[in-house]
Amino acid sequence: ILLSFVFALALTHLLSSATELAIAGKRVRFSGLYALWAVNAAILLITNWMAIWGLTAVKRWTAPEVALQSLSAIMQYFTCSTFRVSLANDEDVVDLPVLYQQRRRLISGAFLALAVIASFQNWWDRDNMTGMSPTDWIAEDLVILPMAIAVTLAGWARPIWLQWLAAGGM
């Protein structure tokens, strides 16, 4: 339940920022890349939230298990909070293309850290997930690997077309 609260707070960051931008309306210079990465963050958040259901098979939670799940939820929260937009007053212009370029490495680094943590979690909980065999973690990590490559490209590649390719590939 505690993990679900952290996930709900992360979703609140995404939704409240989208609301702020919608209210600001004409004062916002739109960025498709920023929007696509925010959507990616929301999809990943919901996917990861659904994935924790498999942990209902854990009979005894150890301190390392609690720490790992907490670290994952905190990283999920941080990833979503990188999209936070707060408008101090009604005159502020929000230049999302500039904001995206300023935060690009931070956003990508957060996604990359989340991918590394998720890969480790898959291995760590290989015997704990409901309905999965002990080797299913390998297939799960093979899905995460291209995502990790995509977020690395998005964060550190200069060509915009490559950033778009990475965001779409994610």
| CB burial of residue 125 (10 Å; 0-12, 13-18, 19+) | buried
In the structure encoding, which two tokens stand for residue 170, read together? 């994610």
Torsion angles phi and psi, residue 129, rounded to 5? -85, 130
DSSP state of 27: G
pLDDT of residue 57: 78
* pLDDT band at residue 1 using 50, 70 and 90 as cut-offs: confident
Q: Would the pLDDT of 129 be above 80?
A: no
Euclidean distance between CA atoms 126 and 153, whole angstroms: 29
pLDDT of residue 8: 94
For 33-91, how does the pLDDT look when each residue is reduced to its tens digit (9 = 90+)?
A: 999 999 999 999 999 999 888 788 788 889 999 999 999 999 999 999 999 987 777 77
pLDDT of residue 102: 96
Sequence-ordered list of residues with C-beta below 8 angstroms from that of 31, at least 6 positions apart, any chain: 96, 97, 99, 100
* pLDDT band at residue 118 using 50, 70 and 90 as cut-offs: very high
Euclidean distance between CA atoms 170 and 154, whole angstroms: 10
Predicted TM-score (pTM) above 0.95: no
Q: What is the mean pLDDT of the chain?
A: 91
Euclidean distance between CA atoms 27 and 91, whole angstroms: 8
pLDDT of residue 132: 75
Torsion angles phi and psi, residue 49, rounded to 5? -65, -45
Euclidean distance between CA atoms 136 and 129, whole angstroms: 10
Residues 35 and 42: beta-carbon distance below 8 Å:
no
pLDDT of residue 142: 93
